Amino acid sequence: MSDSNKIIDQAVGSEYKWGFYTELENDTAPPGLSEDTVRFISARKEEPEWMLEWRLKAFRTWQQMSEPDWAHVQYPKISYQDIIYYSAPRKGPKYNSLDEVDPEILDTFNKLGISLEEQKVLAGVAVDAVIDSISVKTTFREKLSELGIIFCSMSEAIREYPELVRQYLGSVVPVRDNYFAALNCAVFSDGSFVYIPKGVRCPMELSTYFRINAINTGQFERTLIVADEGSYVSYLEGCTAPMRDENQLHAAVVELVALRDAEIKYSTVQNWYPGNKEGKGGIYNFVTKRGICKGDNSKISWTQVETGSAVTWKYPSVILKGNNSTGEFYSVALTNNFQQADTGTKMIHLGRNTRSTIVSKGISAGKSNNSYRGLVKIGREAEGARNFSQCDSLLIGSTCGAHTFPYIECDNPTARVEHEATTSKIAEDQLFYCNQRGIDTEKAVSLIVNGYCKEVFNQLPMEFAVEAQKLLSISLEGSVG
């Protein structure tokens, strides 16, 4: 059998190693979605009246909308009345020690180089007993609050910082922006809230790991990050560790606001259950992520490494409103087996001398489909705007697909928009060359894939980049013989 045939076979044969069941606690809303469900959620979260009103308005808006079907993905129709929209975060230990956790999961953690304490948190071992991580969390919080940085759960922010939340929530992704965003507005469970005050440079990467309850925020996550004038923050979402989740539909909303001279760097590594090798199960990940460079000279940078989910539909975007503002999008999307990804970005140039960079690297293996969809829009006022887009596709085997849908709308004659695209395959003679030098095919594929993604990995914070590389190797593990 030729190498490439083997790759396909083995790729299709490789299974998600981290699938499992977890039992839900009983504090759960009945299935279905109505105004009562929205009231139930809001009441459970002890939200103020204005928040409930906001959610109800969103729910009524959502009811009038219909599910979009333009993405290059196929999935069975979602029955919104069969979904459970609220279940309380698990209380108490699921496991008493790491010894009870599936050794394969632990093995993966070790491969990713995750610390023991962190492993306990991720595997759902009772963390109340973990003194270290509690103290880490406390010192961490103290340090941030000294600088006036707010980093808490969205529920907490709604209660503690209502003015900030009311000012910015829904200001970047309006309620009626799209079907899934409207749904999120009505029923969002929790998420992160970050506020960086004027002139403050956040001294550490903010990661959800430090806010332990964020790990179980459920399927409708809501995140809002506001960087006030002249501030800087780097935020890490997710984790390279396997993401356990029993919810099929995920519809998160992330909003970023960068004021004058501020910079936000948002990095995601997503590794949700992609479904089994027949393409059954797996997470539908329909996310709306958008940032606005509101003030002059501001900058927003999205970096994502996506290897999970059965269906991904995600376009982290930047509205470049401030003059001289900068938007960046760096993406690696790997699909295997029957995974489908339709992902890309939108760069909306409104201000003068705004610039944007798009680097998208798609990797398809197995019978998967990987699409890049990007919009570069140059508004009438955007004098001297510049965009550079590069979309590369790498195919492993011959039963997968890669598609590129670039859209350019330019209303200003002084703008410069460049688009480059390539499609390549890992050739058998490349693999043989590596083999002859002592590198087995699996490592060779990983070497080539990581080399191909280097531009994007370089954008990730150092430790995250190392984890992302390992993650790609693990996702391709067993994909070749």
Helix residue ranges per DSSP H, 188-320 = none
And the tokens for 302?
A: 């999205």
Nearer to another protein, 347 or 448 (CB): 448
Give min distance, CB of 176 to another protein, in A. Answer: 42
First-to-last alpha carbon distance for the chain, in angstroms, is: 11
Query: Using CA atoms, how far apart are residues 411 and 1, in angstroms rounded to an integer?
Result: 54
Q: At what angle do helices 35-44 and 49-63 cross, to 10 degrees?
A: 150
Distance of CA 211 to the CA centre of its chain: 17
9-45 b/e (C-beta count within 10 Å ≥ 16 → b) = bbbbebebebbeeeeeeeeebeeebeeebbebbbeeb
Give min distance, CB of 431 to another protein, in A. Answer: 9
Nearer to another protein, 3 or 467 (CB): 3
Give min distance, CB of 392 to another protein, in A. Answer: 10
Give min distance, CB of 436 to another protein, in A. Answer: 5
Give min distance, CB of 447 to another protein, in A. Answer: 6
Q: At what angle do helices 428-436 and 3-13 cross, to 10 degrees?
A: 90
Nearer to another protein, 172 or 395 (CB): 395
Nearer to another protein, 407 or 433 (CB): 433
Nearer to another protein, 410 or 456 (CB): 456
Nearer to another protein, 171 or 430 (CB): 430
Interface with another protein (CB under 8 A): 1-3, 424, 427, 429-430, 432-441, 443, 447-448, 450-454
Give min distance, CB of 451 to another protein, in A. Answer: 3
Query: Using CA atoms, how far apart are residues 308 and 24, in angstroms rounded to an integer?
Result: 23
Nearer to another protein, 387 or 475 (CB): 475
Nearer to another protein, 3 or 296 (CB): 3
Residue with tokens 């695209």: 421
Nearer to another protein, 226 or 445 (CB): 445
Query: Using CA atoms, how far apart are residues 460 and 139, in angstroms rounded to an integer?
Result: 25
Which one, of 170, 164, 136, 133, lies nearest residue 150 by Cα?
164
Give min distance, CB of 240 to another protein, in A. Answer: 21
Cite the beta strand spans of 351-452 per DSSP E: 355-364, 369-378, 386-395, 401-410, 416-425
And the tokens for 369?
A: 């489909």
CA distances from 283 to 19, 182, 219, 276, 390 (A): 12, 19, 10, 11, 28
Give min distance, CB of 265 to another protein, in A. Answer: 23
Query: Using CA atoms, how far apart are residues 434 and 365, in angstroms rounded to an integer?
Result: 20
Sign of CA dihedral 207, 22, 91, 251: positive
Give min distance, CB of 267 to another protein, in A. Answer: 21
Give min distance, CB of 328 to another protein, in A. Answer: 20
186 neighbors 179 (Cβ within 8 angstroms) = no
Nearer to another protein, 387 or 393 (CB): 393
And the tokens for 375?
A: 């919009």
